[in-house]
Structure 1
Amino acid sequence: MKKVGILGGTFNPPHYGHLLIANEVLSELDLDIIWFMPNHEPPHKKKPDSVKDEERLRMLELAITGNTNFSVQPIELKRTGPSYTVDTMKILNENYPEYQFFFIIGADMIEYLPKWHDIDILVNLVQFVGVERPSYNHQTDYPVLYIDVPSIDVSSSMIRDRVKKGKSVRYLLPDSVIDYIEEKQLYGTPSGIKFS
């Protein structure tokens, strides 16, 4: 049976924190592959309107280039409406009955699990994998495997803010993604600014 890790998110933009989490879980659980799954419309937060889905998808493809254990799974971008994980996992389990899925979540999402749409159904469709983050409570009544991951205090919102202000984002995300942000002038990039 193929063991597949899934890391969902807006990836707006994808950064080294995402890649580190994915690689650590891949290694610790001896998974075959990690699918990065950008969501179309996250139920719990609003994504900035200025960046199109295809731009987030392209940044993610650039971020994982060269790692054969990483792949992009665009299933949620092909659906309209809120990206409920339970709906996605029903489809994936139906399409890939020979796969075992591990859904990676941060400590902030572990706290939020009781509010997930149809969580009692979802826990039977996928194994949750929790990565700890400082200042979050990771106690839950739901079955979660915990993985210790080195902490990198970086977030997509922080990167967007730095880009808008013309500050350096070097070493926070891959150079290929930085180049793409500059080329497309995403996140309010000041004209002519180079971030590397």
Structure 2
Amino acid sequence: MKKVGILGGTFDPPHYGHLLIANEVQSALELDKIWFMPNHEPPHKKKPESVEDEDRLHMLELAIAENANFSIQPIEMDRKGPSYTVDTMKILHTEYPDHQFYFIIGADMIEYLPKWHDIDILVNLVQFVGVKRKSYSHQTDYPVLYIDVPAIDVSSSMIRDRVKKGQSVRYLLPDSVIDYIEEKQLYGSSKSIRLS
């Protein structure tokens, strides 16, 4: 039985916080792989419309390129409309019957679990792995494995805002992703703006 961690998100853009969480969970639980699962349209928040799915996918490929244990699972990006985790996991269980799935969620999502679509079915399809953060409650009636991860206070929205303002994002995300953002002039950036 292969043990696979799944880290979902918009990855708009992917940053070191995502990579750190994936690495720490893989190490702590001795997982075989981490699948990064970008979604097309998350049901719980509106996706920014400034960047195409292809750009997010390419940035994610660049971000994980140096880790052989990281790969991309594009199933939710391939489906149009909102993607519910329970539907995705039903499909993955059928396609990968020899895999045990560990679904990684942030502390904000632990509190939100009761509102997840068909959560009572989903808890039988995955083992939730919660990343602890001091400012959030970790109380839940659902089975969650908790992993301590060093705090890195970075978010995709903060990076998008900094890029738009022409501020440095060095050390917040991989240089290859910064280069791509500059080259494609994403998030309101300009080729004349140096982000390092």
Q: Give the TM-score normalised by structure 2.
A: 0.99
RMSD: 0.6
Q: Do structure 1's residue 54 and structure 2's residue 39 form an aligned pair?
A: no
Superposition deviation, residue 134 in structure 1:
2.7
* C-alpha distance in structure 1 between counterparts of 2:186 and 2:139, whole Å: 37
Equivalent in the alignment of 1:73 = 73
Q: Aligned with 1:62: secondary structure? A: helix
Q: Aligned with 1:173: secondary structure? A: coil
Deviations 1:45-102 (A, max 9, x none): 1111010111000000000012101001101011111010000000000000000000
Q: 1:165 is matched by which residue type in structure 2? A: K
Equivalent in the alignment of 1:29 = 29
Q: 1:22 is matched by which residue type in structure 2? A: A
Q: Aligned with 1:35: secondary structure? A: strand
Q: 2:48 is matched by which residue type in structure 1? A: P
1:118-129 equivalences under 5 Å are 118-129=118-129
Equivalent in the alignment of 1:134 = 134
1:139-158 equivalences under 5 Å are 139-158=139-158
* C-alpha distance in structure 2 between counterparts of 1:7 and 1:119, whole Å: 17
In terms of mean alpha carbon deviation, does 184-193 or 152-161 score higher? Answer: 184-193
* C-alpha distance in structure 1 between counterparts of 2:179 and 2:117, whole Å: 37
* C-alpha distance in structure 1 between counterparts of 2:58 and 2:158, whole Å: 20
Q: Aligned with 1:162: secondary structure? A: helix
Aligned pair count?
A: 196
Superposition deviation, residue 194 in structure 1:
1.4
In the alignment, structure 2 segments of 5+ residues that lack a partner are none
* C-alpha distance in structure 1 between counterparts of 2:118 and 2:53, whole Å: 26
Q: Work out whether residues 64 and 70 of structure 2, in 8 Å CA contact, stay in contact via their aligned partners in 1.
A: yes
- Structure 1 residue ranges, 4+ long, deviating more than 4 angstroms after superposition: none
Superposition deviation, residue 191 in structure 1:
4.2
Q: Aligned with 1:37: secondary structure? A: strand
1:1-196 equivalences under 5 Å are 1-196=1-196
In the alignment, structure 1 segments of 5+ residues that lack a partner are none
* C-alpha distance in structure 1 between counterparts of 2:108 and 2:134, whole Å: 10
Q: Give the TM-score normalised by structure 1.
A: 0.99
Superposition deviation, residue 135 in structure 1:
1.1
Q: 1:113 is matched by which residue type in structure 2? A: L
